[in-house]
Amino acid sequence: MRYAQLGQTGLYVSEICLGTMTFGGEEGGFWRVIGQLGQNEVDELVGRAVAAGVNFFDTADVYSYGLSENRLGQAFKNLDVRREDVVIATKVYGAVGPQPNNRGASRGHIMDSVKGSLERLQTDHMDSRPTTLS
């Protein structure tokens, strides 16, 4: 596996990133069409990826209404993957509820989304690229 530095973070990530949009999907609707991978299937897929050298995983709080993050975090736990051996990227912005502040890039929504994502991923931090505003 080849690795590249992620922006200016100092982190090195595999050139292949495993996206998790297909994890979950039991709730129906759009996510059911995208994918319905259960925990056993997710464990197998993540295990194979890690064995191949993949250390970069992408998810989002909206994927399967948060179930994707649950499945990824549980897979890391089930497979005894050390947190320091993986780089986790997740996203906020999309609607995660019916209220007007359940979406967007407001500080409140970002903070609420990060808290929820950390709980679902069963971790204490996410990896991100520092940004500067000019």
Token pair listed for 91: 């996203």
Torsion sign, CA atoms 9, 12, 16, 18: negative
Contact 17, 58 (CB under 8 A): yes
Q: Of residues 12, 63, 65, 93, which has the active-site annotation?
A: 63
Rg (C-alpha) for the chain, rounded Å, is 15
Considering only CA atoms, which of 75, 65, 134, 72 is closest in space to residue 102?
65
Residues of the chain by 3-state class (helix, strand, coil), percent to 5: 40, 15, 50
Annotated catalytic residue 3 = no
Q: Which residues are catalytic?
A: 63
